[in-house]
Amino acid sequence: MKPYRNLRIKEWALEDRPREKLISNGKNSLSNAELLAILLGSGNHYESALDVSKKILSLVDNNLHDLCRLSVDQLKKIKGIGPVKAVTIIAAFELGNRRKEAERPECIRITSSNEAFRLMLPVIGDLVHEEFWILLMNRSNRCVKKQKISQGGISGTVIDIRLILKYAVELLASSMIICHNHPSGNLQPSEADNKITKKIMESAKIMDIQLLDHLIIADNTYFSYADNGLM
């Protein structure tokens, strides 16, 4: 009998096929490669969808965080992945991110840097460019709005302090947390990060708005200015 890698998935035993396995045993019984194979639907002339899935995962050392950062063009370089399959993979990850975000609606109470991090991770954690956001809070430390301020390139973005204060004043915010991501994966704040933090803190103080923290998010973790005594 031929080994499975030379057979199409529909030629496998029913209990070994990813779709049938999910139906009979539940989604938690499937490996990452099997779940990805379901999204792909088919492989190429020489490999099954599962073989292609394993190849994709091996390219990112089986790190789903890195996989979701791949672009359509990067995925298309893999034999057996065309534009439709590439878009399907990216759409699946984006749905997952939006689900995480939906589980943490605005108006939640933020009492720690970790809670702010978990709120913003689905928003900017996987981006390959830099974005700057603010979380605006009322007197009960409930987030009344999260707002993107700017979007830049790989190494930086322009920040307009007047725009930050405009949103804060319009919503009568009592405090705020500023957040941005480092696509490079480096968590350490730059000199520019330190300068903008100080400027925003001083400007907000004039409007009687407290800057509680500045989070830098990278590689599924974060750096907190407040936790490190820099506020």
pLDDT by residue, tens only, the chain of 231 residues: 344 445 567 667 666 788 888 898 888 898 999 999 999 988 888 888 898 999 999 988 998 888 888 899 999 998 889 999 999 999 998 888 787 766 555 578 899 999 999 999 999 998 989 999 999 999 999 999 999 999 988 777 889 999 999 999 999 999 999 999 999 999 999 999 999 999 999 999 999 999 999 999 998 899 999 999 998
Q: What separation in angstroms does the CA of 73 have from each of 17, 48, 191?
A: 29, 21, 34
pLDDT at 154: 75
Q: Are residues 114 and 206 in the same domain?
A: yes
Provide the token pair at 160: 């307009």
pLDDT at 106: 56
DSSP 8-state secondary structure symbol assigned to residue 207: T
| Within-domain flag for 28 | yes
Residue pointed to by tokens 């399959």: 85
Q: Are residues 115 and 183 in the same domain?
A: yes
pLDDT at 99: 78
Residue type, 92: A
Are the beta carbons of 171 and 145 closer than 8 angstroms? yes
pLDDT at 105: 52
pLDDT at 221: 95
Are the beta carbons of 34 and 18 closer than 8 angstroms? yes
**Boundary residue ending a domain (101, 129, 148):** 101
The beta strand positions in 123-209, using DSSP E, are 131-137, 143-151, 175-181
Q: Are residues 63 and 122 in the same domain?
A: no
Q: Are residues 161 and 215 in the same domain?
A: yes
Are the beta carbons of 71 and 79 closer than 8 angstroms? no
| Within-domain flag for 230 | no
Are the beta carbons of 14 and 54 closer than 8 angstroms? no
| Within-domain flag for 231 | no
Q: Are residues 12 and 57 in the same domain?
A: yes
Q: Are residues 191 and 112 in the same domain?
A: yes
Domain span including residue 15: 4-101
Q: Are residues 79 and 127 in the same domain?
A: no
pLDDT at 151: 92
* Residues contacting residue 229 through CB under 8 Å, at least 6 positions apart: none
> Which residues partner with 149 through β-bridges?
none
Are the beta carbons of 223 and 187 closer than 8 angstroms? yes
pTM: 0.67
Number of domains present in the structure of the chain: 2
Q: Are residues 114 and 220 in the same domain?
A: yes
The beta strand positions in the chain, using DSSP E, are 131-137, 143-151, 175-181, 210-218, 221-224
Residue pointed to by tokens 């096929």: 17
Buried b / exposed e across 56-87, counting CB within 10 Å, b at 16+? bbebeeeebeebbbbeeeebeebebbeeebbe
pLDDT at 28: 87
Provide the token pair at 154: 């790989």
**Boundary residue ending a domain (44, 76, 101):** 101
Q: Are residues 96 and 118 in the same domain?
A: no
pLDDT at 14: 67
Q: Are residues 93 and 143 in the same domain?
A: no
Length of the chain: 231
pLDDT at 171: 93
